[in-house]
Structure 1
Amino acid sequence: MASLNILMAQINTLVGDFEGNTDKVVACVQRAVQSHPSPVVVFPELTLSGYPPEDLLLRPSIELRVAQSLARLCAELPAEAWAIVGYPRTRDDGLYNVAGVIHGGEIVAEYSKQSLPNYQVFDEKRYFKPGSLPCVIDIEGVQVGLSVCEDIWEPGPTLATARAGAQLLINLNSSPYHRGKRGERWQLVAARATEAGIPIVYVNQVGGQDELVFDGGSFAVTAGGDIAAAAPNFEEGDFWLQYDSDHAQAPFSGLQVYPPLEEIEAVWRALVLGVRDYVNKNRFQGVVLGLSGGVDSALTLAVAVDALGPERVEAVMMPFRYTSQMSVEDAAEQSDILGVSHKVISIEPIYEAFMASLEEEFAGTEVDTTEENLQARCRGVLLMSISNKKGYLVLTTGNKSEMAVGYSTLYGDMAGGFDVLKDVPKTLVFDLCRYRNTLGPCIPQRVIDRPPSAELAPDQKDEDSLPPYEVLDQILEMYIERDMSAEAIIATGMDRQQVQKVLRLVDINEYKRRQAPIGVRITKRGFGRDRRYPITSGWRIGD
């Protein structure tokens, strides 16, 4: 009988921090040898550089930094441990995405990733050359094959590893979250295991990196495709399982299967983790946001408090003549419930000062959206000034539906460093508010119940300018996330005029989105890295 004590090291790395990431690897392996003999400690893809390192991989010093980290690992890791670590490796013919095995003070095997993703948020063909050969190594009497992330999404690398004699496949990942991703992974890896007749251990990183959130959820699958062990999502930690080669049908033990999270909880935890890591990894003292009394800013405040604690969050209500008393009261109530610093700063005198300065320029013109946008820009100036003075990050509050159709003001409500709801459709905003209230009092009910309004004009409602959000979000999901044409969307039963209007708004507002802050990605097609359209274009997709 041959058996292995495997530690799935579900760690949170920092891109570019070779020293800090190496420290984490050393500490984890040292913990492992204290509790299990000859442990196999498996880390995520590109652990040493963090993922995705993007154009840091093009820096001339990348080879030196990797070499220094590997030298430390060979010198400092306990000799009896087997550490499987991801890193970029420079060879004579180019750069490779590598999984290396360190044991006894040396690198005893290296595998180069074969399948390089170049879609959605991935650009690996920009940086890496593909490997071509399987890698199988004897670890404590078990023939262990290696693969890296995308290799598992195609049948070839897994089949080749099994044919090379592997009894067990270990797959290193930096797989970002989107809604429904855990189920997709389970189904896919189970299919690979049954095709190749080989059990698979899938290790994924956890943490936020700019707009991406990595949700962990490392797991093991039997050769028959059964999920035998699964770590929790969105939690950093050491997760042990045992592999026994004599039990072909049930080779894994020692770790329960943590059940998948309900989708709404998974989205919530992704938002919280994304905000926490963006703020902390960029060393902001805290965050500040405009709390309008509306549903978007209410949800943003709730996420911020859950991510950072109330002592690091400041909410600013900036009323104007069109701001309802209800909004003022609801903002104050939520701030009191959550225990955050709450300030009220009227924009009336600032607005009047701007209008006085613009009096000559505006002479003979009618009041229009210019004056509405000026209100938003007054608020943006106040928030950015607080940010500069206190070292706080400004959280903007626009949702995906608004970002899609340009229902936002450049240098106004779009002014800031991070948009928590950038990839959250408006209908999901309401669902998330209701979910958060099930965890404890948070968002006043009438904030959720009242019709959405920017309150930039008397009796203004969002639906004065836009289709109902239930309709709008369906159109946007088909157009943005599924790339359906106008005619295909209309064929589903949608009103032709509404579809044409919405698609035109999406097309002409690319220039706004290009200037928007980044935000947490929770769908398969977020704005930014996922969706890259030209600003200047004669081709209107929505026509």
Structure 2
Amino acid sequence: MTATRTSSLRIAVAQLNPVVGDIAGNLAKARAARKEAAGQGADLVLFTELFIAGYPPEDLILKPAFVKACEEAVDALVADTADGGPAIAIGTPLKRSSGLHNGLVVADAGERLAERFKIDLPNYGEFDEKRVFQAGPEIQGPVGVRGVRIGFPICEDIWGDLGICETLAESGAEILLVPNGSPYYRGKVDIRQQVVVRQVVESGLPILYANQLGGQDELVFDGASFALQADRSLAFQAPQFEEGLFLTVWERNGEEWRCVEAPVGAIPQAEEADYSACMLGLRDYVDKNGFRDVVLGLSGGIDSAICAALAVDALGADRVRTLMMPYRYTSKDSLRDAEDCARALGIRHDTVAIAEPVEGFTEALSRLFAGTETGVTEENLQSRARGTILMAVSNKFGSMVVTTGNKSEMSVGYATLYGDMNGGFNPIKDLYKMQVYALSRWRNAHLPKGALGPLGEVIPRNIIDKAPSAELRPDQTDQDSLPPYPVLDDILECLVEGEMGVDEIVARGHDRELVHRIEHLLYIAEYKRRQAAPGVKITRKNFGRDRRYPITNRFRDRS
């Protein structure tokens, strides 16, 4: 706003949880954050990518009425800055003569100081921005905000190799502020910091990286905003998986700016981070879609047990109910384990026997099935009876059904359509079986930050220790149909995350015929996965947004 050089700048980072499409709600959040920042003496509030719209808005962006409403909300926020409080930099879609852009508005004293457009539009994995946005036509220079020349690259602008940060530095930028919508996967915090280190080296400037928080369908945005000094040292680290407004204080030392005051917190690792992501993703899916509570089948197995624990931690025990739906093959151990798990979590637990509906289906089908062998079809009737009962409870009481299948099962089709696949959301959809075990052990020893569940062992030891079984026939175990899970998971990670060839996987010590079989099962189960409930993305390549294989597919890697 002024050309006068200043020696200090107080920047508040708004690491908030917007809701896609809730323009009025997101505007209210922005106003509340700006008011809080004013109380902290901030000069500028940095919001995240497309904050007013919520991120990612996907094809909502194609509706002119939506883009217009976003513009009007930003106009209102720009007008607010006439009160003498902090300036703002906020992400929003912008329809201009050059096209529809993923944009940023910088405003102070009631005026728009500048608009900036995202140059490098991501078009990989979960990102599909080239579908709806036009890239900015050119790299736009720094913006003068209260005597400081600030560059505003937007998210992917610092991930690619277009030299945007270096160009901003050459154009006179003194600090780079980067609004982001960067979703979680395991190890993502380290990857982001490596990206920023590279840009600090190339530009010679300090970088403040603001990241969105919250669950949006299958994606979880984990926050963990941070800043690096020009010497690449960490100056600021916001918490992961926590909403907040964080003040960073910057001072000029000669020609260099340094962050001299900011919180620096610890970042959770490994199982703690994965569990927190699953918890946040489930909570936001339920709350943002208006469900009062959830229901799930609690079978006495580890998958349903960890889903129950996640639901209680995310929502509280009073918003979770479970059903045990026994049949003749349900063991006494499973009945006891389910009861013990429900008791440890403090949740309502009911029993609904499925003998009558299963036998009713069997009798109704007896003429059609005459002369055939009893097998998987009859086993699946048990699963489908359970799925129907859960959906009936959902319809009657408005509870969302939590689906409980893990990534190992979904990979090879070890799940029943319209049975155990029924439901609205799956918090462990992107966790392999061995990761489910690891998270279960971790949860029994820790209470995650922000969790609403109890301390101590919530997943009974016997559930973790016993052999997993669908209990659809006498003495059944998963390993009757599948290789041991450590072997299966390694092969699947190679095929799914690594896109490795059969020869490469065999070279890791796996049997060739087994790899061929798992690859075949992976491909033919695609039609099931297309009909599966959404679930939290944890790995680099989840089913759905990241891995988009054709259902009709005859390719097999056979050399």
Amino acid at match of 1:8: V
Aligned ranges 1:254-403 → 2 under 5 Å: 254-403=261-410
Contact between 1:398 and 1:414, CA under 8 Å: does it hold in 2? yes
Q: Using the TM superposition, give the Cα deviation of residue 247 of structure 1 relative to its aligned residue in structure 2, in angstroms.
A: 6.7
Q: Using the TM superposition, give the Cα deviation of residue 250 of structure 1 relative to its aligned residue in structure 2, in angstroms.
A: 7.4
Query: Which residue does the alignment assign to 1:152?
Result: 158
Please provide the CA RMSD for this pair: 1.3
> What SS does the corresponding residue of 1:47 show, helix, strand or coil?
coil
CA–CA distance in 2 between the matches of 1:243 and 1:42?
14
Contact between 1:136 and 1:144, CA under 8 Å: does it hold in 2? yes
Contact between 2:523 and 2:553, CA under 8 Å: does it hold in 1? no
Query: Which residue does the alignment assign to 1:100?
Result: 105
CA deviation vs aligned residue, 1:300-359 (integer Å, no higher than 9, x gap): 000000000000000100000000000000101111111101000010111011111111
CA–CA distance in 1 between the matches of 2:283 and 2:114?
36
CA–CA distance in 1 between the matches of 2:156 and 2:49?
10
Q: Does 1:461 align with 2:477?
A: yes
Amino acid at match of 1:53: P
Amino acid at match of 1:136: P
> What SS does the corresponding residue of 2:64 show, helix, strand or coil?
coil
Q: Using the TM superposition, give the Cα deviation of residue 261 of structure 1 relative to its aligned residue in structure 2, in angstroms.
A: 1.1
Q: Using the TM superposition, give the Cα deviation of residue 101 of structure 1 relative to its aligned residue in structure 2, in angstroms.
A: 0.5
Q: Go from structure 1 to structure 2 and tell me whether the alpha carbon gap of 1:130 and 1:414 turns closer, same or farther (over 3 Å shift).
A: same
Q: Go from structure 1 to structure 2 and tell me whether the alpha carbon gap of 1:517 and 1:171 turns closer, same or farther (over 3 Å shift).
A: same
CA–CA distance in 2 between the matches of 1:49 and 1:119?
21
CA–CA distance in 2 between the matches of 1:493 and 1:441?
36
Query: Which residue does the alignment assign to 1:27?
Result: 32
TM-score, structure 2 normalization: 0.95
Of 306-315 and 97-106, deviating more is 97-106
TM-score, structure 1 normalization: 0.98
Q: Does 1:449 align with 2:493?
A: no
> What SS does the corresponding residue of 1:61 show, helix, strand or coil?
helix
Query: Which residue does the alignment assign to 1:137?
Result: 143
Q: Using the TM superposition, give the Cα deviation of residue 257 of structure 1 relative to its aligned residue in structure 2, in angstroms.
A: 2.1
Of 78-87 and 12-21, deviating more is 78-87
Query: Which residue does the alignment assign to 1:417?
Result: 424
Query: Which residue does the alignment assign to 1:177?
Result: 184
CA–CA distance in 2 between the matches of 1:359 and 1:529?
42
Contact between 1:206 and 1:216, CA under 8 Å: does it hold in 2? yes
> What SS does the corresponding residue of 1:135 show, helix, strand or coil?
coil
CA–CA distance in 2 between the matches of 1:150 and 1:17?
24
Query: Which residue does the alignment assign to 2:535?
Result: 519
Q: Does 1:536 align with 2:540?
A: no
Q: Does 1:5 align with 2:10?
A: yes
Amino acid at match of 1:41: V
How many pairs are equivalent? 542
Query: Which residue does the alignment assign to 2:239?
Result: 232
Q: Does 1:68 align with 2:84?
A: no
> What SS does the corresponding residue of 2:140 show, helix, strand or coil?
coil
Query: Which residue does the alignment assign to 1:116?
Result: 121
CA–CA distance in 2 between the matches of 1:538 and 1:489?
20
Amino acid at match of 2:77: L
Query: Which residue does the alignment assign to 2:452?
Result: none
CA–CA distance in 2 between the matches of 1:468 and 1:139?
60
Q: Using the TM superposition, give the Cα deviation of residue 135 of structure 1 relative to its aligned residue in structure 2, in angstroms.
A: 2.9
Contact between 2:246 and 2:263, CA under 8 Å: does it hold in 1? no
Gaps of 5+ in 1: none
Q: Go from structure 1 to structure 2 and tell me whether the alpha carbon gap of 1:270 and 1:416 turns closer, same or farther (over 3 Å shift).
A: same
Q: Using the TM superposition, give the Cα deviation of residue 32 of structure 1 relative to its aligned residue in structure 2, in angstroms.
A: 1.1
Of 251-260 and 346-355, deviating more is 251-260
CA–CA distance in 2 between the matches of 1:259 and 1:462?
39
Taking only the aligned residue pairs, the percentage that are identical comes to 48
Q: Does 1:205 align with 2:221?
A: no
Q: Go from structure 1 to structure 2 and tell me whether the alpha carbon gap of 1:376 and 1:259 turns closer, same or farther (over 3 Å shift).
A: same
Q: Does 1:426 align with 2:433?
A: yes
Contact between 1:3 and 1:140, CA under 8 Å: does it hold in 2? no
Query: Which residue does the alignment assign to 2:524?
Result: 508
> What SS does the corresponding residue of 2:89 show, helix, strand or coil?
strand
List structure 1 segments (4+ residues) > 4 angstroms apart after TM superposition: 247-250
Of 298-307 and 432-441, deviating more is 432-441
CA–CA distance in 1 between the matches of 2:80 and 2:240?
30
CA–CA distance in 2 between the matches of 1:517 and 1:323?
26
> What SS does the corresponding residue of 1:335 show, helix, strand or coil?
helix
Contact between 1:147 and 1:172, CA under 8 Å: does it hold in 2? yes
Amino acid at match of 1:6: I
CA–CA distance in 1 between the matches of 2:181 and 2:347?
35
Query: Which residue does the alignment assign to 2:3?
Result: none
Q: Using the TM superposition, give the Cα deviation of residue 437 of structure 1 relative to its aligned residue in structure 2, in angstroms.
A: 0.2
Q: Which of 33, 43, 46 is the aligned partner of 2:47? A: 43
CA–CA distance in 1 between the matches of 2:262 and 2:465?
43
Q: Does 1:54 align with 2:58?
A: yes
Gaps of 5+ in 2: 1-5, 447-455
CA deviation vs aligned residue, 1:187-237 (integer Å, no higher than 9, x gap): 110111011100000000100000000000000011121111100000000
Of 369-378 and 62-71, deviating more is 62-71
